[in-house]
Amino acid sequence: MIQKYDSVIIGAGAAGLMCAYIAGSRHKKVLLLDHSNKLAEKIRISGGGRCNFTNIYTEPKCYISANPHFCISALSGYTPYHFTDLLDKYKIGYHEKTLGQLFCNDSSGDIIGLLDNLCKANNVNRKMSIQVLNVTKIPNGFEITTDNIGVIHAETLVIATGGLSIPQIGASGFGYNLAREFSLNVIKTEPALVPLALDPEQLQYFGPLSGSSFFSQTKIDKITFMENTLITHRGLSGPAILQISSYYNSGSGLQIDMLPKQDIKQLINENRKSTKLLSNFLTLFFSQRIASSICQILQVDKQLCQLSNKDIELINKLIHNFTVTPSGTLGYKKAEVTKGGVDTKELSSKSMECRKIDGLFFIGEVVDVTGWLGGYNFQWAWASAVATGNSL
């Protein structure tokens, strides 16, 4: 027997749950399917278990896309304050950690529970551990063939299967493959918000500093981020590196200013008569390990009064304009998101519906809209889902 629904949503993650709730609240008969046996694992593991669910400074410039204007409509239709209103209504506590990033007070489970309850209250039929075997276009809708709940007909089909990062918790290329099957363009996908790897030669210098972090400005071309850089046993991580990684192309050089708010040349010149060793002086700004390492790399550890102008130029270059060429990224296993995806030219920015295929929608991370680190990706998931939920 063929089951009939107004809408089938594939992917019960952030975007799928939100879209199902909104469509359900508009009295649509909705089936929400997921191949995983666990609900919304990415929400659960996000933000160190407390889900950085939005950012109050959300703006279109915080997103990377072949069409930077595409996200404007959805983001202005559903803002961070719409989401916090929802949390307030259901008494879920949250706080700003830093830079506009909002986190749950207790746990990410609060958000999963809220969205799941809203789906239940609005009669969404959610089924987990379902493999979608085939999707075909039929007159007035879609035929979806599954492994264990048979064949379903739906007037509209929403793809909310997310990106490729963290395959071990159910990420798959389903959405991209389906888009290609329907002859839609997919912008090249790449790991983003991902640690950068260094080659063994570079690790000789950095390896002993593993675990050290410092406030920094990272730069590729004209893009800059000012946050912490963390040195790891495989390369570079921390928020400043994750942010800039989304702009990294294989072979790009990365510039790091290790003391972005100060001028080391001026600071040394102001203390030019001091008998303090450079390595001790640098501990005013860096950890002991990093300070010693700077002196070791430059092979300069003199008293400040003994430094030559040439020494100061070298110190200035290393601290303010340290250039490193990563050997690559740590890939989808460590990436928070996938850059690229379904080409926004294929979609309406108001509803996320395909221009060429009536009734087919793509929402969330599967679309070529990638946010910065800091709650922007969930905000895109909510906003694109609401745009679609209101259009089904």
Ligand X SMILES: Cc1cc2nc3c(=O)[nH]c(=O)nc-3n(C[C@H](O)[C@H](O)[C@H](O)COP(=O)(O)OP(=O)(O)OC[C@H]3O[C@@H](n4cnc5c(N)ncnc54)[C@H](O)[C@@H]3O)c2cc1C
| Binding stretches for ligand X (CB under 6 A) | 10-16, 33-36, 40, 42, 45-47, 51-52, 132, 160-162, 165-166, 170, 172, 174, 336-337, 364-366, 375-378, 381
> Which CB sits closer to ligand X, 170 or 326?
170
User: DSSP assignment, residue 372?
Assistant: P
> Which CB sits closer to ligand X, 47 or 239?
47
> Which CB sits closer to ligand X, 292 or 351?
351
Closest distance to ligand X from the beta carbon of 78 (Å)? 14
Would the CA dihedral through 85, 88, 92, 94 be positive or negative? positive
> CA dist 367 to 33, 51, 160, 164, 337, Å?
19, 21, 9, 12, 11
Element of type H or E holding 190: strand 186-192
Closest distance to ligand X from the beta carbon of 77 (Å)? 17
- Tokens matching residue 372: 């910065």
**Distance between CA atoms of 105 and 117, rounded to whole angstroms?**
19
Which residue of the chain is nearest ligand X when measured via CB? 13
> Which CB sits closer to ligand X, 83 or 281?
83
Closest distance to ligand X from the beta carbon of 15 (Å)? 3
> Which CB sits closer to ligand X, 10 or 75?
10
> Which CB sits closer to ligand X, 49 or 253?
49
> Which CB sits closer to ligand X, 190 or 336?
336
Residue indicated by tokens 């340290």: 322
Using DSSP's 3-state secondary structure scheme, residue 390 falls into: coil
Residue indicated by tokens 């996908």: 189
> Which CB sits closer to ligand X, 281 or 361?
361
Residue indicated by tokens 């969930």: 378
**Distance between CA atoms of 40 and 198, rounded to whole angstroms?**
33
Spatial contact of 30 and 20, defined as CB atoms under 8 Å apart:
yes
Using DSSP's 3-state secondary structure scheme, residue 156 falls into: strand
Q: Where are the alpha helices (DSSP H) in 132-251?
A: 174-181, 200-206, 239-245
Closest distance to ligand X from the beta carbon of 66 (Å)? 18
- Tokens matching residue 265: 């040349």
Closest distance to ligand X from the beta carbon of 244 (Å)? 17
**Distance between CA atoms of 35 and 25, rounded to whole angstroms?**
24
Amino acid at 335: A
Closest distance to ligand X from the beta carbon of 63 (Å)? 11
Closest distance to ligand X from the beta carbon of 302 (Å)? 45
- Tokens matching residue 19: 């879209």
Closest distance to ligand X from the beta carbon of 314 (Å)? 39
